């Protein structure tokens, strides 16, 4: 009965959770991959600042703290650097004769060793730690890392005899980590969920992991870990679609946290390959290989390499199949073109008989089209002229601004004291305000119904109300420029002397209040006609 209730709760929680993540799609992951270097730059900047703060004037304790911070930045980012700083932590601890700091460095070393698949070395490092001297926080970290090492070793061996032994040993250590955790904390909930998963109690594990994703404010790294772990339950239940959704969340979070030591992208590539999506599987397996190579995880590189060869082979086969299909299409297209040419010849002969009778009508149509083209051209010239006029005035004001700064520089150097008064008389704010007024008048001459039409797109409470004597305001000017064909946000920001973010915010705010769908709003503005 209890198991049934847990399963029902698991299903309800799953529906609720994934209903909240519609944006975690393949497209979003591809966008995150495009922005990957930007996320890495942020991390590298933090690392550079920390490294720059190291100097000989610092005390050993201060250096130790910086080494610890650098280790945390590198532990899932760069194996060699993380290894180096874990060693530096131990060295500083020995110089300080502080056994807790030495043990902390050994535990940190153990984390990156197991991340690289070095089981023996991990145990060698952890076995030298005197757990009794550790504070609860480090003891909890030690117990969890030891449990993870045994769990990973059990998964790696997949042996009927040894795997149960390793899992049993891991459960002992994770129980110790759980006992030292606050029952309301992330560590407690995740560790208990992981334990249930390893015990085969997938329903209990899923409820806890979903609770973490829904109710806890997780960092990107924590979100990646939880989503990736939860995806394993769905994979075991052969629910690949839900597993893919979770791995998308995990992979995106890994990119945002600049985590290179991660399995989400690898597992995602495998599932997509299994579903026949070779294109995306190939993209993501290459990303997984790039991350593994960057981090320096030997086991992960071997893991990825094996799968990469399989997916790459299918990618090649897929390309060859596409070429074969393309050849067939080309042959059919050639045949179709031949048929079209034949029909064109027949139709051409028939048209010649009609041309004489239609000559007068054609000539009239040609004349009419020429007249319409001229009218359209005149209308286009009017619209482009006002845009050009406004840009010209804007550039003029910019030049005046540069002139003012140049004169001020000369005044500072006391070369042209006599032009100080002339410089001070230049009022760029007034010039720009007059420019806006001239623009408003010219624009409204061409589009006298613009304000009325613009307001008709909004409910009465959101319509623009102009002050006495005011022709247009900033909201109206932005879309007046768009009506004139100036669609570049950067250009609009330059003309109106706002930042691009401000223009984006103006446009988003205005569109959100409109009665028209956001995607159609600018099209309606462009449809407003001149006099």
Task: Please compute the mean of the pLDDT values over residues 515-528 and round it to a whole number.
Answer: 91
pLDDT digits (tens, 9 = 90+) for 59-107: 999 999 999 999 999 999 999 999 999 999 999 999 999 999 999 999 9
CB atoms under 10 Å from CB of 457, counted, come to 19
Tell me the pLDDT band of 2, cut-offs 50, 70 and 90: very low
Q: What is the pLDDT of residue 374?
A: 41
Instruction: Evaluate if residue 403 carries a pLDDT over 90.
Output: no
Task: Please compute the mean of the pLDDT values over residues 453-469 and round it to a whole number.
Answer: 91
Q: What is the pLDDT of residue 22?
A: 38
Q: What is the pLDDT of residue 301?
A: 67
Instruction: Evaluate if residue 398 carries a pLDDT over 80.
Output: no
Instruction: Evaluate if residue 273 carries a pLDDT over 50.
Output: yes
Tokens of 421: 């008064």
Instruction: Evaluate if residue 495 carries a pLDDT over 90.
Output: no
CB atoms under 10 Å from CB of 431, counted, come to 15
* Listed range (46-55, 198-207, 409-418) with the worst mean pLDDT: 409-418
Tell me the pLDDT band of 8, cut-offs 50, 70 and 90: very low
Instruction: Evaluate if residue 370 carries a pLDDT over 70.
Output: no
| Stronger pLDDT, 450 or 375, i.e. the higher one | 450
Mean pLDDT of the chain: 83
Instruction: Evaluate if residue 3 carries a pLDDT over 50.
Output: no
For tokens 């309800």, name the residue. 12
Phi first, then psi, for residue 458 (nearest 5°) are -130, 155
Q: What is the pLDDT of residue 314?
A: 67
Residue-wise DSSP of 166-181: HHHHHHHHHHHHHHTS
Question: Of all residues in the chain, what percent carry a pLDDT higher than 70?
Answer: 79
Domain ranges of the chain: 42-133, 135-200, 427-526
Please answer whether residues 129 and 142 qualify as being in contact, where contact means their C-beta atoms are separated by less than 8 angstroms: yes
Q: What is the pLDDT of residue 281?
A: 85
Q: What is the pTM of this model?
A: 0.57
| Cα 323 from Cα 326, distance rounded (Å) | 5
Tell me the pLDDT band of 309, cut-offs 50, 70 and 90: confident
Task: Please compute the mean of the pLDDT values over residues 151-163 and round it to a whole number.
Answer: 90
Instruction: Evaluate if residue 149 carries a pLDDT over 60.
Output: yes
Phi first, then psi, for residue 514 (nearest 5°) are -75, 155
> Which of 16-25, 37-46, 272-281 shows the highest mean pLDDT?
37-46
Q: What is the pLDDT of residue 47?
A: 95
| Stronger pLDDT, 221 or 336, i.e. the higher one | 221
Considering only CA atoms, which of 219, 218, 301 is closest in space to residue 260? 301
Instruction: Evaluate if residue 288 carries a pLDDT over 60.
Output: yes
Task: Please compute the mean of the pLDDT values over residues 445-461 and round it to a whole number.
Answer: 91
| Stronger pLDDT, 189 or 432, i.e. the higher one | 189
Tokens of 188: 């407690």
Instruction: Evaluate if residue 170 carries a pLDDT over 90.
Output: yes
Task: Please compute the mean of the pLDDT values over residues 143-147 and round it to a whole number.
Answer: 96
> Which of 11-15, 198-202, 385-389, 431-435 shows the highest mean pLDDT?
198-202
Q: What is the pLDDT of residue 388?
A: 56
Q: What is the pLDDT of residue 418?
A: 58
Helix (H) or strand (E) holding 201: none
Residues whose CB is less than 8 angstroms from the CB of residue 288 and which lie 6 or more positions away in sequence, other chains included: 265, 266, 269, 300, 304
Question: Of all residues in the chain, what percent carry a pLDDT higher than 90?
Answer: 50
Tokens of 391: 């840009």
| Cα 521 from Cα 68, distance rounded (Å) | 53
Instruction: Evaluate if residue 320 carries a pLDDT over 90.
Output: no
Max Cα-Cα span within the chain? 108
């Amino acid at each position: 009965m209890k198991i049934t209730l847990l399963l029902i709760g698991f299903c309800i929680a799953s529906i609720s959770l994934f209903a909240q993540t519609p944006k975690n799609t393949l497209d979003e992951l591809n966008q995150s991959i495009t922005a990957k270097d930007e996320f890495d730059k942020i991390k590298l900047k933090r690392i550079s600042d920390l490294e720059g703060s190291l100097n000989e004037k610092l005390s050993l304790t201060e250096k130790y703290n910086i080494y610890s911070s650098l280790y945390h930045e590198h532990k899932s980012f760069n194996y060699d650097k993380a290894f180096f700083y874990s060693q530096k932590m131990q060295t500083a601890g020995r110089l300080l004769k502080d056994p807790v700091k030495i043990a902390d460095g050994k535990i940190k070393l153990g984390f990156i060793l197991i991340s690289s698949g070095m089981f023996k070395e991990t145990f060698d490092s952890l076995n030298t730690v005197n757990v009794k001297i550790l504070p609860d926080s480090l003891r909890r970290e030690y117990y969890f890392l030891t449990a993870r090492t045994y769990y990973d070793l059990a998964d790696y061996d997949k042996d009927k005899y040894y795997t149960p032994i390793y899992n049993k040993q891991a459960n002992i250590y994770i129980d110790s980590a759980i006992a030292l955790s606050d029952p309301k904390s992330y560590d407690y909930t995740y560790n208990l969920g992981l334990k249930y998963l390893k015990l085969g109690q997938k329903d209990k594990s899923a409820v806890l992991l979903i609770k973490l994703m829904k109710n806890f404010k997780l960092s990107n790294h924590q979100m990646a870990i939880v989503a990736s772990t939860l995806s394993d339950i769905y994979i075991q239940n052969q629910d690949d679609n839900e597993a893919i959704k979770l791995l998308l969340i995990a992979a995106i979070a890994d990119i945002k946290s600049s985590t290179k030591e991660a399995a989400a992208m690898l597992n995602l590539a495998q599932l997509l390959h299994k579903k026949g999506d070779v294109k995306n599987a190939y993209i993501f397996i290459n990303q997984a290989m790039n991350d593994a190579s960057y981090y320096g995880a030997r086991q992960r590189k071997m893991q990825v390499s094996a799968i990469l060869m399989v997916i790459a082979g299918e990618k090649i086969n897929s390309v060859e199949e596409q070429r074969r299909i393309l050849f067939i299409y080309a042959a059919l297209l050639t045949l179709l073109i031949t048929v079209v040419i034949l029909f064109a010849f027949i139709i051409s002969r028939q048209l010649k008989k009609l041309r004489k009778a239609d000559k007068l009508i054609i000539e009239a149509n040609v004349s009419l089209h020429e007249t319409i083209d001229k009218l359209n051209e005149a209308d286009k010239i009017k619209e482009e002229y006002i845009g050009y006029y406004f840009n010209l005035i804007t550039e003029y004001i910019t030049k005046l601004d540069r002139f003012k700064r140049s004169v001020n520089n000369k005044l500072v150097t006391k070369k042209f004291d006599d032009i100080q008064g002339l410089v001070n008389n230049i009022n760029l704010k007034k010039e720009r305000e007059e420019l806006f007024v001239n623009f408003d008048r010219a624009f409204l001459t061409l589009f006298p119904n613009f304000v009325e039409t613009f307001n008709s797109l909004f409910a009465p409470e959101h319509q623009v109300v102009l002050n006495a004597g005011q022709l247009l305001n900033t909201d109206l000017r932005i879309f007046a420029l768009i009506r004139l064909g100036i669609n570049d946000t950067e250009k609009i920001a330059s003309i109106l002397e706002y930042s691009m973010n401000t223009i984006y915010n103006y446009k988003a705010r205005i569109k959100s209040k409109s009665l028209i769908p956001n995607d159609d709003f600018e099209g309606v503005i462009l449809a407003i006609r001149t006099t």
